Copies of this chain bind each other. A is one copy, B any other.
Amino acid sequence: MALTAKGLATRQRIIEGAALHLRGDDPGEVTLDDIRAITGTSKSQIFHYFPGGKEELLLAVARYESDRVLDDQQPHLGALTSWAAWRRWRDAVVARYRAQGRNCPLGSLMSQVRSTPGAAEVVGALLANWRAQIRRGIEQMQAAGEIRQGLDADRAAAAFVAGIQGGVQVLRSTGRTGHLEATLDVLIDHLRGV
């Protein structure tokens, strides 16, 4: 399948339109007709650009959203080199998810695509990358003498990732950011040895 420039643009429009819809209030189950309506395309276009049908399309959207997750935490996440930077990152994460509210585009996506091979790969890559960046931040602080050497950076990074995931999940269920904030604060306190 050779795509022309026009075709590529349409394909991208479909992905971004679907992503937009996923962010709206209560996307619930996404249907191809929803996407068709939003993006002003026809059924045949969807299947033209995503021969694998709905699953392939949703996976493409998941990859797109997955990139957004870490992008939205930059530049803070990439430069956790002082306590002030950690604080800014913490605030950025809370703000991002507070803005997202009860809707987690990636979460909705994953629940509709769960148990396909591609889904595990997308989320696995995201989690690994996330963890690696946090770990790097911890190691930098250790190198600077701000965090004691004995602390297991990789394990602590895993705890951050899990804590944020859980905090967001609680947020999705209850609408409150308290758990997310508590986790981040407790874990940062732990790093500081408080």
Contact = CB atoms under 8 A, between A and B. Distances in A.
A173 interface: yes
A120 B174 CA distance: 6
Given A115-B28, A169-B166, A158 B174 contact: no
Contacts of A28: 114-115
B174 A127 contact: yes
Interface residues of A, number: 38
Interface of A is mostly: helix
Contact of A111 (B111, B120, B189): B111
Contacts of A169: 162, 165-166, 169
A161 B173 contact: no
A157 to B, nearest CB: 8
A16 B115 CA distance: 24
Interface of A: 26, 28, 102, 110-111, 114-115, 119-120, 123-124, 127, 155-156, 158-159, 161-170, 173-174, 178-180, 182-183, 185-187, 189-190
11 contacts: A28-B114, A102-B115, A123-B173, A127-B179, A156-B182, A158-B182, A158-B183, A162-B180, A162-B182, A166-B169, A189-B190
